[in-house]
């Protein structure tokens, strides 16, 4: 690869659902595969570690004070990720060893918020194995609010990666125009959008953001079948009773700064899929449109962004 090109790996996979140790092992195996394929950036789907809360829509997740919901939620907390406790160490060590940057969707058990609430977070690990940002999803979507807390702006950051500046958002955050603009204003030209899965989510928004931002956009989804629910999961029978065979069918894809496909949506299969992007294409498309540059009017409209990490208690 030249300095202006970047090979991207999209890990469209299922977790070992709600089992963080086994899911970490699966993630590291895909990192090894990505190294063998020459990937320089590897992206995993939303909340992959340890898994998306599919049970909410399958087991009457809004039932108040339900013993079933409490027990599943407690199991989710037990398998969520505390970065400060070293839960990502195996992944960061391998990233440094392989020289691969990683975007990984996790369910974070945030220590600075007491350690009992969960956040859908997108973690960026650079090729030196350093965690450079942890973006907590600003607004969980619909039933997700029954198990995830709303995040903050601290993770609205971009990172240098060869000639690119890469940033990312979780799932329907990608529909939030001001969140996208916050990243555009930092010079983002490679946008990562992570999803639990399903091509109906990724097909339109991936091309739209690419054309709006005149940037490359990589959408990476999970893939989940009913057989991927471990039988040891609390209330397993209730969860699978109303589950369809395919809960997340993938849809991972890459669009270029002109809005055309580099890799069209990949549907109905698990695996590591790759694509190569060329930085010069960004410069070509910025000639006629640049949303926070020459085609903006900051004297008329302007965005303010609060990137302070939010916490209820400040200790001095």
Contacts of 60 (CB under 8 A, 6+ apart): 66, 69
Point out the catalytic residue in the list 40, 46, 144, 285.
46
CA 164/CA 216 separation, integer angstroms? 10
Under the banding of pLDDT at 50, 70 and 90, the label for residue 197 is: confident
Residue 175 has which token pair? 């529909």
The predicted structure's pLDDT at residue 2: 79
pLDDT above 90: residue 64? yes
Q: For the structural domain made of 5-285, what CATH number should be given?
A: 3.60.110.10
pLDDT in tens, 231-260: 999 999 999 999 999 999 999 999 999 999
Query: Does residue 71 have an active-site annotation?
Result: no
pLDDT score, position 3: 84
Mean pLDDT, residues 116-135: 98
Residue among 20, 35, 137, 162 flagged as catalytic: 137
Q: Is residue 46 flagged as an active site residue?
A: yes
Q: How far apart are CA 254 and CA 263, in angstroms?
A: 5
Catalytic residue among 39, 120, 171, 253: 171
Backbone angles phi, psi at 248, to 5 degrees: -145, 120
Q: Is 241 a catalytic residue?
A: no
**pLDDT interval class at 316 (50, 70, 90):** confident
Q: What is the mean pLDDT of the chain?
A: 96
pLDDT of 1 strictly over 80: no
């Amino acid at each position: 690869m030249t300095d202006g090109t970047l090979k991207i790996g999209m890990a469209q996979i299922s977790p070992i659902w709600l089992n963080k140790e086994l899911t970490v092992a699966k993630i590291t195996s895909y990192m090894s595969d990505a190294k063998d394929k020459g990937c320089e950036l590897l992206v995993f789907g939303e909340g992959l570690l340890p898994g998306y809360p599919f049970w909410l829509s399958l087991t009457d997740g809004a039932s108040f004070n339900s013993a079933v919901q409490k027990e599943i939620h407690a199991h989710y907390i037990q398998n969520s990720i505390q970065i400060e406790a070293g839960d990502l160490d195996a992944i960061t060590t391998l990233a440094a060893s392989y020289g691969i940057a990683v975007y990984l969707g996790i369910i974070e058990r945030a220590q600075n918020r007491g350690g009992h609430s969960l956040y859908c977070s997108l973690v960026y690990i650079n090729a030196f194995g350093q965690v450079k940002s942890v973006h907590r999803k600003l607004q969980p979507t619909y039933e997700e609010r029954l198990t995830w807390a709303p995040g903050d702006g601290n993770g609205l950051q971009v990172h240098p990666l060869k000639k690119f500046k890469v940033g990312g958002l979780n799932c329907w955050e990608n529909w939030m125009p001001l969140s996208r603009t916050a990243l555009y204003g930092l010079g983002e030209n490679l946008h990562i959008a992570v999803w639990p899965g399903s091509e109906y989510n990724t097909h339109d928004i991936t091309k739209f953001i690419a054309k709006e931002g005149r940037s490359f956009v990589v959408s990476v989804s999970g893939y989940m079948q009913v057989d991927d629910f471990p039988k040891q999961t609390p209330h397993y029978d209730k969860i699978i009773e109303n589950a369809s065979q395919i809960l997340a069918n993938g849809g991972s894809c890459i669009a270029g700064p002109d809005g055309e496909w580099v890799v069209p949506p990949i549907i109905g299969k698990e695996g590591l899929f790759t694509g190569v992007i060329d930085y010069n294409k960004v410069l070509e498309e910025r000639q006629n449109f640049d949303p926070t540059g020459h085609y903006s009017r900051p004297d008329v409209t302007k965005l303010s962004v609060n990137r302070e990490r939010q916490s209820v208690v400040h200790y001095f």
